[in-house]
Amino acid sequence: MRALIRLPEPDILNNRHQQWLNALIASGKNRPDPTKYGNPNIRTQLNTISFHKCFYCESKLKDKPSEIDHHIEVSINLSLSYIWENLYLACDNCNGKLNHIAIPITEALDPILNTDNEIQDNITFNDEVITAVGGSDIGFKTIQKYRLDSILLDKRRITQLKYFYKFLDEIRLKQIAENGRALNQNEIDAIKHFSQLDQPYSLMFKIIIGNII
């Protein structure tokens, strides 16, 4: 999870959310129409906010299933069905989050409301394994709520780590071949690239790289 900045509300949602909500209430249904809040313009804006990543776990979504998630469940407040601030982008793992009865959103970290420092003060990584910092209660509940410690996510993070460590090994071989020299600036920049906000699992890499450089 990394801190994200929400972009302006898409025009289609701004212009039609009240109309859509009125129709939903009139229908007597308890779930909104996903073709409306899943409009391509809305999805595009959410993907832009997160660099095509899950808001919660940072999985890249270009080649993976994704869902538009109601951060506050519509079963709690149907009027939030088409509210821009309540729409998040989630992968197939995180969209199955624990409900608000089990863990309220107020007891977990929020990529829109919390800063990078606040997130990193509460969750960290040992290689692919996510854990709470110093027994942080909000860290544990964030991991539990969004199932950030699932086997599926561990496997996805391991895949990225294998690529990262292979890249490091190539650099180390060059260092050895060149009389054991220190990392040059180009190599440092290339390593740090993995921790950029647009990269998958950038918080994990930010923490790992911080222990290397």
The identity of residue 137, as a single letter, is D
Residue 102 banded pLDDT, cuts 50, 70, 90:
very high
Distance CA 55, CA 88 (A): 7
**What is d(CA 190, CA 187) in angstroms, rounded to the nearest whole number?**
5
Between CA 107 and CA 123 the distance in angstroms is: 14
Count of alpha carbons within 13 angstroms of residue 121, beta-carbon side = 9
CA neighbor of 204 nearest in space, from 195, 212, 193: 195
Note the pTM of the prediction, 2 decimals: 0.90
Q: What does the pLDDT average to over 96-101?
A: 88
| Residue pointed to by tokens 């910092």 | 133
As a dihedral over the C-alpha atoms of residue 133, residue 152, residue 53, residue 100, rounded to 10 degrees, the angle is -60
44, two tokens? 């595009």
For residues 86-100, average pLDDT: 91
What is the rounded distance in angstroms from the CA atom of residue 7 to the CA atom of residue 160? Answer: 28
Work out the percent of the chain whose per-residue pLDDT is above 70. 100
Least confident stretch, 15-29, 42-56, 58-72, 191-205? 58-72
Domain ranges of the chain: 151-210
The string of pLDDT tens digits covering residues 129-150 is 999 999 999 999 999 999 999 9
**pLDDT tens column, 31-84:** 899 999 999 999 999 999 999 999 999 999 987 767 899 999 988 899 999 999
Strand-pair partners of 68: 89
Average pLDDT of the chain, as a whole number: 94
150-160, pLDDT tens digit by residue? 999 999 999 99
The per-residue pLDDT for 65 is 65
- φ, ψ of residue 138 to 5 degrees: the values are -70, -30
Predicted confidence at residue 175, as pLDDT, reads: 92
Q: In this predicted structure, what is the pLDDT of residue 164?
A: 97
> Which whole number is the average pLDDT over 97-121?
94
Residues 51 and 198: beta-carbon distance below 8 Å: yes
